[in-house]
Amino acid sequence: MREVAGFRLFEVDYRAGLDLRPHFHPHGYLIYVLSGNYSEACAAGTVDLVPRSMRYLPPGFTHSNHFSRAARCLVIEIAPAVLARVSQSTKALERAGEIQGPVSGWLAERLYDEFQRPMAAGGLALEGMLLELTAEAARRVGQGAAKITPEWLKNARRHLESNCLRAVSLAEMARVSGMHRVHVSREFRKHFGTTIGEFLRSLRVQHARRLLSSTTQTLTDIALDCGFADQSHFSATFRRFTGLTPAVFRQMALHSREEMAEPA
């Protein structure tokens, strides 16, 4: 758990089969799903949360949760004072909704990376990212999949997540979902706030981040393993999503591990 200037962050593991009865939180909550999935039931219906999705809950919002599989989430608690400042400009964070789009996903991944570093090394950076993510949430809340996502589209997304390291065609996505490829493309963007191609690239970048942080593979090998045509294409895409080149990201990850290994 971390506390940073009006925010508290938790990384939480939920066991498979867990049911949380109707409840509410006294603070605003941003939940970013790191792995697994779960469903949330509220007065408006049921929403399914999958890896890399983000959900905002305002204070006092009554809901229940069911975890059909184990899930791991980054939970961000937002203090009333922060929400009060946001409300001076917009009332968007007075309602629940999913936060969609490549910017919010990129911010959440950067935030999670920073969250895992020693506090002394990243407190100011963490605060800046939290404020950025809150502002993005205020812009995007409710624009994405607050509409209930149809099962065929969730199946298509799961297929993409399971096969992201190879070439996946729109025709293949259409076969998996049983829908016309134009309809698949349109509904994917409507519900998930991004194109199929951009979502596929984001999955590859996330896999590359893990390899850069945990292996000594060359950049060329990582590029090929993650489905990129060559190192140049990989580096350009990685930098567009993270703001860093793969080499700089690897250096930062190594430095972070060394800091965490040092005795207090």
- If you ran DSSP here, which 8-state letter would residue 15 be given? -
pLDDT digits (tens, 9 = 90+) for 195-215: 899 889 888 988 998 899 889
Of the pLDDT bands very low, low, confident and very high (cuts 50, 70, 90), residue 262 is low
Write down the domain spans for the chain: 2-140, 151-261
| 76, 133 contact by CB (below 8 A) | yes
How far is Cα 225 from Cα 246, in angstroms, rounded to an integer? 14
Cβ count within 10 A of residue 120: 7
CATH dotted code for 151-261: 1.10.10.60
Spacing of C-alpha 183 from chain mean position: 25
| 187, 156 contact by CB (below 8 A) | no
Say yes or no to pLDDT of 145 above 60.
Answer: no
| 18, 41 contact by CB (below 8 A) | no
Could you give phi then psi for residue 137, rounded to 5 degrees? -60, -40
Angle, helices 170-177/181-192, rounded to nearest 10 degrees: 90
pTM of the prediction? 0.62
Superfamily covering domain 2-140: Regulatory protein AraC (2.60.120.280)
pLDDT digits (tens, 9 = 90+) for 22-80: 999 999 999 999 888 899 998 888 888 888 889 999 999 999 999 988 899 999 999 99
Of the pLDDT bands very low, low, confident and very high (cuts 50, 70, 90), residue 260 is low
